Amino acid sequence: MKIARQVVLGAAFALGVFGQASAQDWPTHSVTVVVPVPAGVASDIIARVVFEQVGKQVGQTFVIENRPGAGGTIGANMVAKAAPDGHTILVYGSIAAANALYARLPYDTVADFTPVVPFGETPLVVVTAVGRYNTLAELIAAAKAKPGELNYSTVGIGSAAHFGAVRLAVSAGLTAQHIPFKGPEWLADTIAGRVDFSVPPVTTVIGPIRDGKLTALAVGAAKRSAALPDVPTLIEAGLKADAIYPFYTGAYLPAKTPRAIVDKLHDEVVNALALPSVQERLAKIGVEKLPMSVAEFDQFFKDDVATNLELVKTANIPRQ
């Protein structure tokens, strides 16, 4: 019995040492970063900026793999089912919204992922075609004058732009039609005026706004965006704080990933975010700092899941 027990304990010790060594050596080969939205939208842009630098720090390649579809759940499921070895990372800005919207998911949003680190918060911005509306008050008045006739575009059901528009509508007491797109047409149709308005992350539309192709009416944040200092906040535009839909992008690993790997990924991202060159690139596209420990981000994420579930109920959004 003593011999058998010593063998078991020895095996357990060996596994523990191996786990520690693996964590210390991470990453041992290229890392797949799954972004479950189309290229060019907020989470994708931010992921490329951050992991370009992280790759330099650890001496490995981080490959961005866009897996859009089903409100981001296709890409999220890919990571949930991946080996928990730190070589498959999920970067998602609307995972809590998707959880609230889809009644049946192939994964458990809370149990199957380990929140690691937020990259930052990106305020949403109400935009419209140039010349369509000059202020948010004009847009709201038009929507109330013709209930349900105005429409808004998004990159899909459950996206930040979708839930941002829903929260805006609930707070302002208006109704509008949701037109979800699967590709960049949402932006083209908004610029062309075929869609009345959109509420995307600043990151996604900062270029068209600066180029004079879109009019920014209000920013969904407690304070003005450094990227759009002349654009009022929703509160300055006359709405209450409940009109703001906070949008952040973060990195997640599969559940059961060794804590040492979780901590190392967290620290490498934090180090990357601290670099002036990275800060400058993110600031230019409207990303605000959102520093958190692993434990703080875990609680923040769970609270966000609960908040999005409540929004779906309040707005009577049919669950898919």
| Percentage with pLDDT > 70 across the chain | 93
Q: How confident is the model at residue 23 (pLDDT cuts 50, 70, 90)?
A: low
Half-sphere exposure for 147 (CA within 13 Å, toward CB): 4
Closest CA to 115 of 21, 249, 25: 249
Secondary structure of residue 244 in the 3-state scheme: coil
* CATH code, residues 124-243: 3.40.190.10
Stretch 85-100: mean pLDDT, rounded?
Answer: 95
Closest CA to 129 of 221, 209, 235, 236: 209
* CATH code, residues 2-122+249-314: 3.40.190.150
Report pLDDT for 186.
Answer: 93
pLDDT digits (tens, 9 = 90+) for 230-286: 999 999 999 999 999 999 999 999 999 999 999 999 999 999 999 999 999 999 999
Half-sphere exposure for 245 (CA within 13 Å, toward CB): 30
In angstroms, the CA 255 to CA 250 distance is 15
Q: How confident is the model at residue 287 (pLDDT cuts 50, 70, 90)?
A: very high
Stretch 142-147: mean pLDDT, rounded?
Answer: 96
Does pLDDT of 151 surpass 80?
yes
Stretch 83-96: mean pLDDT, rounded?
Answer: 96
Within this chain, domains 2-122+249-314 and 124-243 share the same CATH topology: yes
In angstroms, the CA 281 to CA 230 distance is 20
Closest CA to 71 of 175, 178, 214, 151: 178
What is the pTM assigned to this prediction? 0.86
Q: Do the Cβ atoms of 166 and 175 come closer than 8 Å?
A: no
- Residue 167's φ and ψ, nearest 5 degrees, are -65, -40
Q: Do the Cβ atoms of 190 and 128 come closer than 8 Å?
A: yes
When the pLDDT of each residue in the chain is averaged and rounded to a whole number, the result is: 92
Does pLDDT of 160 surpass 50?
yes
Does pLDDT of 190 surpass 50?
yes
Give, as one character, the DSSP assignment of residue 288: B
pLDDT digits (tens, 9 = 90+) for 209-245: 999 999 999 999 999 999 999 999 999 999 999 999 9
Please name the helix (run of DSSP H) or strand (run of DSSP E) that holds residue 83, with its range, or none: none
Longest dimension (CA), the chain: 84
Q: How confident is the model at residue 1 (pLDDT cuts 50, 70, 90)?
A: very low
Q: Do the Cβ atoms of 255 and 106 come closer than 8 Å?
A: no
Instruction: Measure Cα distances from 188 to 143, 148, 204, 264 in Å.
Output: 21, 22, 12, 40
* Range from 20-24, 35-39, 61-65, 283-287 carrying the lowest mean pLDDT: 20-24
Instruction: Measure Cα distances from 16 to 13, 19, 28, 253, 281 in Å.
Output: 5, 5, 18, 20, 40
Q: Which residue has the tokens 């908040």?
A: 307
Domain ranges across the chain: 2-122+249-314, 124-243
Question: Beta strands 88-92 and 248-254: pairing type?
Answer: antiparallel
In angstroms, the CA 90 to CA 115 distance is 9
Secondary structure of residue 67 in the 3-state scheme: coil
pLDDT digits (tens, 9 = 90+) for 110-139: 999 999 999 999 999 999 999 999 999 999
Q: Do the Cβ atoms of 177 and 101 come closer than 8 Å?
A: no
Q: Which residue has the tokens 């004079």?
A: 212
Number of continuous H segments (helices) and E segments (strands) in the chain: 11, 10
Stretch 56-76: mean pLDDT, rounded?
Answer: 94
In angstroms, the CA 71 to CA 156 distance is 6
- Residue 176's φ and ψ, nearest 5 degrees, are -155, 155
